[in-house]
Chain A
């Protein structure tokens, strides 16, 4: 099992450009997440998808859109990149087991720089 995969690993954009970050998981998890991580700010939730066909805003959704393409794939789109979106982006997935256990499995991250 590959777990959670993300592409690309690195990306440099110019202000105003658009791009899509791809994420896929092979653990048959229902829930998927997109986070950004900035120095001194910790991991902040951008969007999440509790199940296939649903998406919800997290703490910092402005400037982003998401698509839950199917159970495996959850993409994050930046329509018009801004320097404030320079960050490390992590995708994660989790599966609800008996009880409330909810371990999140993270992808390797995408390091995005917006000039």
Chain B
């Protein structure tokens, strides 16, 4: 079975620090990778997507993809208390067309 693995946390970081969230996936042929943020009691919302090896930056967020090692990560620079949420890694496996598989999510707590 194709899987997406994340540490459920919580991951606690002080305000202003870099938060590093990691995700591994089982299907070497996967092509599309996403990070969703979910506040408590709310629905997930997309914050980053990445398709190619390397880094992709968007404001304080950087997604990193390493297909050879089958991991994708999300860095949040200058973490703010408003970043406290659960971050879901999502992958479209090879042959999965538009079917997305989600990890269990990592809960991030930013301490003021």
Contact = CB atoms under 8 A, between A and B. Distances in A.
Interface of A: 31, 33, 35, 40-45, 48, 50, 58-59, 90, 94, 96, 99-104, 106-109
A100 B51 contact: yes
Given A42-B88, A90-B43, A109-B43, A102 B104 contact: no
A100 B31 contact: yes
B36 to A, nearest CB: 8
Contact residues of A: prevailing secondary structure: loop
A70 B31 CA distance: 30
A96 B92 CA distance: 13
B104 A31 contact: no
B26 to A, nearest CB: 14
Contacts of A58: 99
A42 B104 contact: yes
Contact of A102 (B8, B44, B92, B102): B92
Contacts of A44: 102
Contact of B99 (A41, A45, A107): A45
Interface of B: 8, 31-32, 34, 42-46, 49, 51, 88, 90, 92, 97-105
A50 B49 CA distance: 20
A-B pairs with lowest CB-CB distance, top 3: A42-B104, A106-B43, A43-B102
Nearest to B51: A100
A75 B32 CA distance: 27
A40 B88 contact: no
A43 B87 CA distance: 12
Contacts of A42: 88, 102-105
Contacts of B98: 31, 48, 50, 94, 96, 102
Contacts of A48: 98-99
A103 B49 contact: yes
Given A48-B98, A106-B45, 5 more contacts: A40-B104, A43-B88, A90-B43, A99-B51, A104-B90
A104 B43 contact: no
A33 B105 CA distance: 19
A31 to B, nearest CB: 5
A44 to B, nearest CB: 8
